Chain A
Amino acid sequence: MHRFDQAFRFVLPAAAVAVLATILSVGWFTQPDRFAKGYAPEQPIPFSHELHAGTLRMPCQYCHSGADKSRHAGIPSVDLCMGCHKVTRADRPAIQKLARIANSGAPLPWQRVHTLPDHVFFDHRPHVNAGIACQNCHGEVQTMKVVTRDMGMRMGNCLACHRDPHAALPADSKITKGAEHCAACHR
């Protein structure tokens, strides 16, 4: 076989495949939210947001009451759950487990779904007070049986919205931009 022929028939396609593979793998590795999406760890109590926030239409801030007064939206304390569940569905094993925790005062460690690095100081207050719905960052939680991450808390995602927040804001909002300087979140 001629040397050029060999090059055309094998080396060139192999090189093309290699280049393509490199591009694809680098692209796949660096794609935004590659690992962020779809993270749904098993929780100690099989709490369903679909039932509470969806079917029962409980407002988010009934449980995550810190969202408009604190940096952290907060996870509800066990005694808040027991406010209803002393009576409601007290026969279910998961509720009985909850009741045991409430009575003993033991900690209830939930698996964290949304997280931020230590050097990021996100504040829920201005976002909630501006009328931005929780779903903009946390996904359609009211449809989730198990809370699943819909968006990675990456700086790119923050800035995309801060630069053009119209989609997330209520129609009558006067806000045109969010903060873009470092100290707004990093300090």
Chain B
Amino acid sequence: MKTRLPEHGPVETPRFWRTLDERIETPEAQRAAQDEFLPGAVPGPFDDVHGLPPQSGFSRRDFLGLVSATAALAATVACDRKGQGTVVPYTRRPVEIVPGVANYYASAFQEGRRVYPVLVKTREGRPIHITGNDEHPGVKGKTSPRAMADVLRLYDPDRLRAPKAEGRTVGWAEAESRLHGALVAAKAAGRPVLLISGAVASPTRKALLADLKAALPALEHLAFEPAAGDAAEEAAQASFGQSVDLQPRLAKAKVILSLGADFLNGEDPEALGAWGAKRRLKNAKDEINRLWVLEGPLTLTGTNADVRVPVSPSRLGAMAYALAKELAAKGVAVPAGTDLSSISAGVPAELGETSKLWSNLVKDLHRAGRNAVVLCGAQMPVEAHQAAHLLNAMLGSEAISGRAAEPLATVRDLDAAVQGMAAGRYAAAIFWDVNPAFAFPRASAWKEAVAKVPFRAWIGLMEDETAAQCQVLLPENHWLESWGDFTTGSAEVLQQPTIGTLYDTRHGEEVLLGVIRALGGHAPASYHAYLQGRWQKSLPLGTSFEQALHDGLVKIESKAALPAFRGASVAAAARRAAGSKAEGLELVLFPGFATHDGRHANNSWLQETPDPITKMTWDNPVSVSVQDAKALGIQEGDFVTLSLEGATLRLPAILQPGQAKGVLALALGYGRSTGGVAKGVGANAYPLMGLDPASANVRPGARLAKAGGKKDLSRTQSHHRMEGRDIVRSLTMDEFAHNPQGHHHKPELVSLYEDQTFPDHKWGMVIDLAACVGCSACVVACQSENNVPVVGPEQVARGREMHWIRIDRYYEGELENPKVVHQPMLCQHCDSAPCENVCPVNATSHSPDGLNQMAYNRCVGTRYCGNNCPYKVRRFNFLEYTAYKTEPETLVNNPEVTVRPRGVMEKCSFCVQRINDVKIRAKGEARAILDGEITTACMAGCPSDAIVFGDLKDPKSKVAQLVAASRAYRVLEELGAKPAITYLADLKNPPPNGASSEGGPHAS
């Protein structure tokens, strides 16, 4: 409606005013009051008609006319046959590639000192999925979640694609001439050159560094791994006089004592495999191990403990030495030169009245003897490590092995280098695949010092905080584009490229080979030649390099024995342990599950994989114990300030049941300032790390205060109780022996629907909760196999994460030290699926082999199915998560699985693409499908073999036999959905006499 006012007449004072101008009646406001439409809102051509000031523009009629013309044209075009696209064959087809058939190559992935022999699945020459190398005697086809997710980094659009000098892109010739010039000048001047790299686990890389040292004698090399735990390095030097890489051999362990060691966190597939083998019990008479855990923060290992005691990490050393004293009192021989006199015997004060627990622990360790092992967490203080070494030596443990390893630089060594740089000691510095500008605790001191080095070069994958401080940036190949080799305990492992270089990048080693040549040494141009030359000389007789490459490894005799323990080191460490008191709040800094030391922070798969304990994604809140939070008045999600020795962080807090009172826990590797994904995610905790390697990661004296404000946490599970239902079941060994089904009775079910018939197969799955540790390897494996999109923190906070398999974690019992059970939850492929009945368009239906199918092209997105699913495993694409993606990001997709668009429901398909492939191959070969031939991605990725998939109609199949096990149950069976997934109840093995501190027996 339009009210015209006289052209120049007075404007009545409006009763309601919108702006001060209007109220005061400025001339502009008067004019504005006359014009109904704001300038520009009126179409031009109609000006004369309405007598309005002429304006240029585009009328609504014109617009609608054009739209309809466009639509008509589009409709015409759509009727044409064109646009079928082209099909481009290989011009020269590589002999090993058949388009549409995957090839597998053995390779290896390194993370710190740990090496993962892997099998890389490639399609048409591009790597798309990573599993463990099944030829390797240790890992047996399993690997870590981060190794699986690292295929995403290959296609990371943030990768540096060409060398840079002073911020501009240059060719390799110029970049290298700058590097060589600086190093030749440094050599001529006789000034030292600093090289900081990651851990050296490769024999050929070690030889290369020796060659480089020979060509450049003033080279100072530091192997810096900020997440490796400096205390472990210090303790190994003290106890064994050398750097040692300790590996648990859990197959031999009957009793395991963990001093804050998180050996079940998914990083060590070998340990998880051995753990699973000891836990997948068929009947109660089978041998089971017992895990005692003394720890501060709740770790995955702690959640799997048979007995867990929350204690401050600073007290672990003292408790472990007290154990040694007790064992010595029981007549266990101590290593020569060991002086235990300063240690006071008796129950540590922390355990209070639960002295029964202490005597049980001592008894357990003593009885198990060589089959007992004490493991200490890398981040724990040095005395705890030394005590663990002593205990293992006393017990003569066979369940731990140690290999001499290349020493790692501790934070003290790095601090010395910083001081050297600040003093102008170095003529040049090279940073190779490390990010000390981010990870060194005193970032400002680092920045000042590094600026005093005249020439700084950086070799790496993605520009990071350190790259920003360097003049010459040399882009490195991703490991999937590189050659390499590693030593693991049982095999020499080869790493081979599975794709040509995507960009103008080189091996980091080739840059160094170039340096050797520039300095007058002899070296081949390619690292491949250098590596092959070394291997040809050292290969065992009868093995060809090609064979080793095919297998990915050459097996070696493993020397399992630990180096001799130095008894003389005990007295000092015991004194330190006795003097170590828990003061104020004690902060534990540990490597992030997703980020590790920060190197994986740009990996969105990992960022969105929920932390196995806190279920947090995309953030590193500080975990506060329930007691402390109550005392400080902190609630979940509250912003807090965490301060320690001048460093202050503002970050959200979460309450962590089971965390020891007085302990704070914070993950490292977040708060990066570079990287499209990593930037701004979480807070950088490195400034809180100490410069004393003996206790760099365990810091007493932290202060915590409410900072005001609350954060909407991106958590995938905020409800942790089962509300009286038996979603997970947990049995003690005693219950397992006598009454595995407890009070449960098979419910009598009446169905309105006819039973499904399965003529040939009925696919089903069994998940053993006793073997599942909750490491989330299955989640990442599924994400990679099934093109599961990443949605980002805001969407996760709204409960819109897309994972097809999740791990539910339930707490039971008291908040201070609850019992924890992990349960992988995925589509249950119910026979009478509640989702199928409610779909108005029949987009989800049942297949004759027992799959609950999802036809994306039929789905119209009503979400009735998700609403009706009792397991809440259906995922809806609320937004378009993938269509905007371009190369290189799209290259990681599995071409066998549809990339789902917005508005479509999706869920676990039991990896139907793998089922169909095996079915078709078996049919072509005119044979039956073998049991175990079909592996779902989660099953193949599960390091503890908790997941078994197979044909329930085949009575001989492993899965059919497990379904009949006494521990078997189905989740929410009383609803009558008849799920195809059977769970086996979790097992806990507390010592007899009920000394478990884990609360009462489970509700069931």
Contacts and interface: CB of A to CB of B under 8 A. Distances in A.
Contacts of A41: 84
Contact of A74 (B100, B923, B924): B100
A32 interface: no
Contacts of A184: 847, 916
A11 interface: no
B214 to A, nearest CB: 42
A121 interface: yes
Interface stretch (A1-9, A54-62, A77-85, A88-96): A77-85
Interface in B838-866: 845-849, 851, 853-858
A172 interface: no
B920 interface: yes
For chain A, what secondary structure do more than half of its interface residues adopt (helix, strand, loop), or is it mixed?
loop
Nearest to B849: A181
B81 interface: yes
Given A68-B924, A76-B89, A78-B91, A182 B855 contact: yes
A183 interface: yes
A66 B98 contact: yes
Given A76-B89, A105-B92, A187-B909, A182 B853 contact: yes
A164 to B, nearest CB: 18
A123 B101 CA distance: 11
Contact of B91 (A74, A108, A125, A183): A108
A70 B917 CA distance: 10
A126 B920 contact: yes
Contacts of B86: 109-112
A118 B890 CA distance: 14
A117 B87 contact: no
A129 interface: yes
Interface in B920-936: 920-921, 923-924
Contact of A108 (B89, B99, B848): B89
B853 A108 contact: no
Interface string B69-97: 00000000001010011111111110000
A71 B920 CA distance: 10
Among A72, A74, A184, A186: residue with most chain B CB under 10 A: A186
Interface in B871-916: 896-899, 909, 912-913, 916
A129 B99 contact: no
Given A77-B91, A186-B855, A187-B913, A70 B896 contact: no
Interface string A97-137: 00001100111111111010111010101100100000000
B417 to A, nearest CB: 48
Nearest to B102: A70
A70 B921 CA distance: 10
A167 interface: no
B897 A72 contact: no
Among B845, B849, B916: residue with most chain A CB under 10 A: B916
B916 A72 contact: no
Range class of the B interface residue count: 35 or more
B920 A78 contact: no
B84 A113 contact: yes
Contact of A186 (B89, B898, B899): B898
Given A129-B923, A187-B898, A106 B847 contact: no
A65 B97 CA distance: 12
A119 B920 contact: no
Among B84, B91, B846, B921: residue with most chain A CB under 10 A: B91
A105 B217 CA distance: 47
Contacts of B85: 112, 115
Contact of B857 (A65, A112, A113, A117): A117
B88 to A, nearest CB: 5
A83 to B, nearest CB: 11
B89 A74 contact: yes
A39 interface: yes
A121 B84 contact: no
A121 B855 CA distance: 12
Given A117-B857, A125-B920, A183-B851, A75 B100 contact: no
A130 to B, nearest CB: 8
30 contacts: A35-B79, A35-B81, A39-B81, A39-B84, A66-B101, A72-B99, A74-B89, A76-B89, A77-B91, A79-B93, A80-B93, A102-B91, A105-B92, A107-B91, A109-B86, A109-B87, A109-B88, A111-B84, A112-B85, A115-B85, A118-B898, A118-B899, A119-B857, A123-B916, A126-B924, A181-B845, A183-B847, A183-B851, A183-B909, A186-B857
- List the 6 closest pairs (A to B, CB-CB), nearest first: A70-B100, A77-B93, A109-B86, A75-B89, A181-B847, A72-B100
Interface of B: 79, 81, 84-93, 98-101, 845-849, 851, 853-858, 896-899, 909, 912-913, 916, 920-921, 923-924
Given A69-B101, A187-B896, 20 more contacts: A35-B81, A41-B84, A65-B98, A66-B100, A68-B924, A72-B99, A75-B88, A78-B90, A79-B90, A105-B91, A106-B91, A109-B86, A109-B87, A113-B84, A115-B85, A126-B924, A181-B849, A182-B855, A184-B916, A186-B857
Interface of A: 35, 39, 41, 65-66, 68-72, 74-80, 101-102, 105-113, 115, 117-119, 121, 123, 125-126, 129, 181-184, 186-187
